[in-house]
Amino acid sequence: MKNKLVRFGVSLEGELLRRFDAFIGAEGYSNRSKAIADLIRKEFVTDVFAKGGQVAGAVTIVYDHHSREVVNTLLDIQHDHGGIIISAQHVHLDHDNCLEIIAVKGPGAKVKALADALKSVKGVKHSTLSVTSAGR
């Protein structure tokens, strides 16, 4: 029963609805229901992450391949956070740059601590953390 679809009515200002329809159209949604459900889930993920609950995610880092110090520091940090790292993929972007994609799953605070530690390493050019639902 918990996954049964339930219809409900929503009242919005006309201008807000017009902007919402334009927004979700540009995002590729063909109807409002899926768009609204996704927005709700996005807020739930943000809330779970903020409260330190279980999340999944991906950390991406781009760094200078020639700096052995960066490579070693990034590896040390990953070994220190082994409990929340599911896998790591290394891509040789070009002659100078490496891209690493680290899949993580764990408490929000630990995921954030890992992402913060990686991005603050000298020599890391750019880093992102994408947080998503752990599936529950």
Using CB under 5 A as the criterion, which residues of the chain lie in contact with Ni ion when the complex forms? 65, 92, 98
Nearest to residue 68, comparing CAs of 129, 121, 127?
121
Contact 123, 64 (CB under 8 A): yes
Residue 54 or 97: which CB sits closer to Ni ion? 97
Q: Which helix (H) or strand (E) holds 19?
A: helix 14-26
| Chain residue whose CB lies nearest Ni ion | 98
Residue 65 or 110: which CB sits closer to Ni ion? 65
Residue 98 or 111: which CB sits closer to Ni ion? 98
Query: Closest separation between CB of residue 62 and Ni ion, Å?
Result: 10
Sheet with 124-133, strands from edge to edge, namely 85-92, 97-107, 54-64, 124-133
Query: Closest separation between CB of residue 67 and Ni ion, Å?
Result: 11
